[in-house]
Structures are given as structure tokens and as C-alpha cells.
Amino acid sequence: MATKKQTPKTTAAAAPGWKYEPALESTDHVRFEKRYGHFIDGKFTAAKSYFGAINPATEEQLAEFGQGSAAEVDTAVKSARRGYEKYWSKLPPSERAKYLYRIARLLQEHARELAILETMNGGKPIKESRDVDLPLAAAHFFYYAGWADKLQYAFGGAQVAPLGVAGQVIPWNFPLLMAAWKIAPALACGNTVVLKAAETTPLTAMKLAEIFQEADLPPGVVNFVNGDGRTGAALVNHPDINKVAFTGSTEVGRAIQKQLAGTGKRLTLELGGKGANIIFDDAALDQAIEGIITGIFFNQGHVCCAGSRLLVQESIHDEVVRRLTHRLSTLRVGNPLDKNTDVGAINSRAQLDKIEAYLGYGVEDGAVRHAAPCPLPGRGFFVAPTFFTGVAPAHRIAADEIFGPVLSVMTFRTPEEAVAKANATPYGLSAGIWTDKGSKLFAVASQLKAGVIWGNSFNRFDATSPFGGFKESGFGREGGRQGLLPYLEVRG
Ligand code: NAP
Ligand code: MG
């Protein structure tokens, strides 16, 4: 079916008020190599072949990274096994904790450089990598350092033991933070790690490897193999892995679950989402509008728990749309290294193509497109933040995870209808509820099938709070005491 031509509605006047001068974060002090192979046995090692990773805001190549072969994955797993047997399983837990504290402090010391590199490689606004990714990554190491010598108290006095070697595969939306989410609890529980970063965003993992060297982490305790999905497949299918932790698409997660069936390997999956952000007519609207914006435009919408389905009580629909249109017109889209940028670059050409396809499907299926009236840079992968009105639950933009800055606005009349619509998805990762009434908030929350539910806020994270999904959003929890469980054998 041909896409109907429809000019996006940009009814709000261009942003009123202040004009910003560019406020670029300088990059002259950041250091990285032109070529990285892998990080195995405490050392940077060469690879047989390499691929390039770019800055999605400029499309310029940043560095080359090893395309991990099955043999290179095997070397990394052997190193992790040695690291486990020789060092990590022999250390008293309080000594493991010291390493984790040291890593956390080094992350804080190097925070500025790491934030800049995360932005250069991933495309996310510097204010987010600086204020969210880096502090949270350090917080996860601090938090799990505290657990390392208290594991016997974590599960009602049950005896616990590490699993061995964990194979971890992470996506490109929060490269350093996802590495921290996975590595910190694994090490605290006494496991060693082989981790594969996403092929578009391997840079900060290499800097994290430098931090492990600086922290004097024993060789083999954490290993990084670079590469694409084939490397990830070689890692999760390696016979000497005891546990697989995967974050990424539901499609790949499902394939991994099939491959691992019957192998005895422990598995946790953190997959996609299509979060509902529910706005009741008694909500504080200015705060709710900010929550809607944060819910869908944080990190360009490359967020598994994004509030990508907005459910608005019918009586306030027009007012919410009016305010949203205005707020959209004030968003600054552009150079991610500019400290004023709200929405940065889409992570890759492939992801931009996918988002643009969905913008077309929205119109094709009959919804009305409202795009931010912002200029887009001439180079790099950018798209105007967009919301659709007149969306039906069956529309592709309402049903599928787009993983971009695209919001579907729908309505409901009663709390029962809000709950039914919010739960009408194969996913179950996140939801938000905006209301002035605490009793309504808790009553609705208790009926939502979502792992993470925010009340009068959205996209807030804390190392002490478990995160994870229901249904096709996966299983297992990361963060909090619950985040220990995937890395421990609990004995009676
Ligand atoms: P993906 O293919 O699932 O990638 C996630 C990670 O798994 C990456 O490191 C990837 O390597 C690796 N991988 C790919 N195929 C694998 C396999 N057969 N076995 C083991 N590992 C494998 O996701 P994507 O391609 O980056 O993005 C596709 C869609 O997934 C997105 O549009 C979004 O909807 C969803 N997604 C969700 C999350 C989330 O946090 N829930 C995160 C990212 C993406 P490569 O990087 O080399 O492909
Ligand atoms: Mg992929």
C-alpha cells in the first residue's frame, strides 16, 4: 500500500522566548585508540579482523574494533574460567567488594571523559550521559559492592554460591550503563564475565577495561569480546558458560531461549517494551507533560521502558495535545555534544530507517502526525520528535516497539478501560500513572502487568530498585537485592 502524503502538523508557533548559543562540550582531552581488538585476561588483544564504529551525529568513523571469531570467544571464556578458578572464587567476599568500590570510584573520576565518549559513540545528549548514564553506572558498582560480603543475608539466611562464568550480551542504547548493570552484580556474587557490547557502541566498554586495569582487577575476571551478532551467538552458545544474561530485542531473546533450552545454563532476558503512560484528568498537568516528554524522548526514545503509548483520559485529551504541541516546539534537537541539546542522534542508519518506516505506517494506518518544528542537522542520523493523535490500538505505531522518538496518543474514559488498554500488549516492562489521588494510583498500579511502574514520574532509575519485565519483555531482574538472584545458586 502506498504511503499517503501527509504534511506533519506543526501548529504551535516556533519556540518563543530565549535563543540559545551553542554550548559545546570540548572533546580535546578525551583519549581513545584508533583500533581495539578485545580485552582478554587483563590485556588488550589483537583480533583477526576488524570493523569500524562511527559517531552517529557526524557519520565519521571513531575507531575500529575486533570482529570476534568463535576461536576468540573461546579464548575469552577460557580466560574467564581461569579468572574464576584462580582468583575470583578464592577471594574473601570483602576483598571482592574492595575491587567493586575501587571501580565505582574510578568511574566517578573518569566520568567526564566517559560521558563524552558515550555521547560521541551513541548519539545521546551529553546532559544525559553526564547526569544519568555515568552516575548510575557508578551507583551500580557502589551498590553491589555493598552486597558482596552480605550475600548470606540476601535470601532469608539461605546459603548461596556463585554460578561460575557469565556470558553477557548488551545493546547499544545504554552501553556503559548496561555493562555496569550486568558486570557489578555478577562480580559481587563471585562470578567472572565475558561481555559483548553492541557492534555500534563498543567504545566505552574499552574504556571500562582500562578502568579494570587501573583498579588492578585480577586477569580474566572481566573479558570483553567485540563483534556483531555472530560473536554474541558464539558467546551464548559456548559450552563452558554457566549463565547467559541478554538485553536486546525480543526476536534475538527468543532465539537464545530456544538455543539454551536443555543446556542447564541459567538465563535472564531483558527485552523490548511498549510502555503505557496513563494520564488521569486529576493529574498535575504541567508535571505530566514533562513526564510524557521524558517518557518518550529521553535517549531519543531508544529506551526499552519508554512510555511510547500515551493513554489520556478523554476529557483532557485536547488540553494535553495542546500543551504537548507547545512543549514539542521547545525541544532542541541536534549536536549531542551541545549541553542544551534535548534530543540527540539516532544510533544508526538502520535504526533511523526503521523509525522513518514507522512514521510512514502511522500515516498509512490513519493517525495524525505531529512533528516538532525543529531544524535537523544536515549530517548524521536525526529525526524530529513526533507524536501521533487519532491512534487506534491496532495501528502498527501503537502495537510495535519502535525504539525511537515517536509517541502514540490514545484515550480512555474509566480506570478499568485504562488498565485494559495498558495491558493489551505482548510486552510488560514499564508503565506510568499520573493522578492526584494516591489510592487511584495504587489501585491502578496493582492491576498493570508491568515490571516497573512509576507514579507521577517516568524513566527514573535507581541501583537499589529491581528492573525487569513480564510476558515478552523477558524475565529476571537487574538492580536491587533481586538483581543478585540471577548470579547465585541459592541452596535451601
Ligand atoms: P539485538 O539484535 O537484539 O541486539 C542486542 C545485542 O545482541 C547486541 O549486542 C547484538 O549484537 C547481539 N546479538 C544480535 N544477534 C545475536 C544472536 N543471535 N545471539 C546473541 N547475540 C546477538 O537488537 P538490535 O539489533 O540492536 O536492535 C533491534 C531492536 O531491538 C531495536 O529496534 C529495539 O526494538 C530492540 N532493542 C531493545 C533493547 C532493550 O533494551 N530492550 C535494546 C536494544 C534494542 P549487534 O549489536 O552486533 O547486533
Ligand atoms: Mg542487531
Active-site annotation holds for 270: yes
Cβ–ligand 1 distance for 401 under 6 Å, the answer yes
126-153 tens-digit pLDDT? 999 999 999 999 999 999 999 999 999 9
Exposed/middle/buried for residue 374 (C-beta within 10 Å: 0-12, 13-18, 19+) = buried
Q: Best substitution site from 169, 204, 400 to test ligand 1's pocket, by max atoms within 8 Å of Cβ?
A: 169
What is the number of residues in the chain? Answer: 492
The structural domains of the chain, ordered by start, are 10-15+273-455 (3.40.309.10), 35-271+473-491 (3.40.605.10)
Cβ–ligand 1 distance for 230 under 6 Å, the answer no
Cβ–ligand 1 distance for 233 under 6 Å, the answer yes
Per-residue model confidence (pLDDT) at position 338: 98
Residue 306 has pLDDT above 80, yes or no: yes
Looking at the DSSP assignment, which residues form a beta bridge with residue 408? 309, 388
159-174 tens-digit pLDDT? 999 999 999 999 999 9
* pLDDT interval class at 5 (50, 70, 90): low
Active-site annotation holds for 364: no
353-375 tens-digit pLDDT? 999 999 999 999 999 999 999 99
E strands within 219-286?
Answer: 222-224, 243-247, 266-270, 276-279
Give the pTM.
0.95
Cβ–ligand 1 distance for 169 under 6 Å, the answer yes
Average pLDDT, the chain: 96
> Hey, what's the cell of 80?
574467564
Residue 309 Cα, ligand 2 centroid: separation in angstroms? 24
Cβ–ligand 1 distance for 174 under 6 Å, the answer no
* pLDDT interval class at 1 (50, 70, 90): very low
* pLDDT interval class at 2 (50, 70, 90): very low
Residue 3 has pLDDT above 50, yes or no: no
Give the residue among 419, 437, 436, 440 at the shortest CA–CA distance from 428: 419
Residue 219 Cα, ligand 2 centroid: separation in angstroms? 29
* pLDDT interval class at 16 (50, 70, 90): low
- Cβ 37 vs Cβ 43: under 8 Å: no
- Residue 437, CA atoms < 13 Å, CB-side half-sphere: 10
Cβ–ligand 1 distance for 271 under 6 Å, the answer yes
Per-residue model confidence (pLDDT) at position 11: 46
Per-residue model confidence (pLDDT) at position 18: 72
Tell me the residue type at 43: K
Chain position carrying cell 519485565: 469
Across residues 425-439, what is the average pLDDT? 97
Per-residue model confidence (pLDDT) at position 7: 57
Give the residue among 175, 162, 137 at the shortest CA–CA distance from 462: 137
- Cβ 121 vs Cβ 133: under 8 Å: no
172-205 tens-digit pLDDT? 999 999 999 999 999 999 999 999 999 999 999 9
Distance CA 372, CA 364 (A): 20
233-275 tens-digit pLDDT? 999 999 999 999 999 999 999 999 999 999 999 999 999 999 9
- The percent of residues in the chain predicted with pLDDT above 70, rounded, is 97
Residue 403 Cα, ligand 2 centroid: separation in angstroms? 13
Residue 328 has pLDDT above 80, yes or no: yes
Angle at 450 between CA 153 and CA 168, to 5 degrees: 60
Across residues 26-30, what is the average pLDDT? 94
Listing DSSP states for 287-340 in one string gives: HHHHHHHHHHHGGGG--TT---EEEEEGGGHHHHHHHHHHHHTT--BS-TTBTT
From the list 118, 270, 401, 472, the catalytic residue is 270
- Cβ 377 vs Cβ 335: under 8 Å: yes
Run of H or E residues at 169:
strand 165-169
Across residues 385-394, what is the average pLDDT? 97
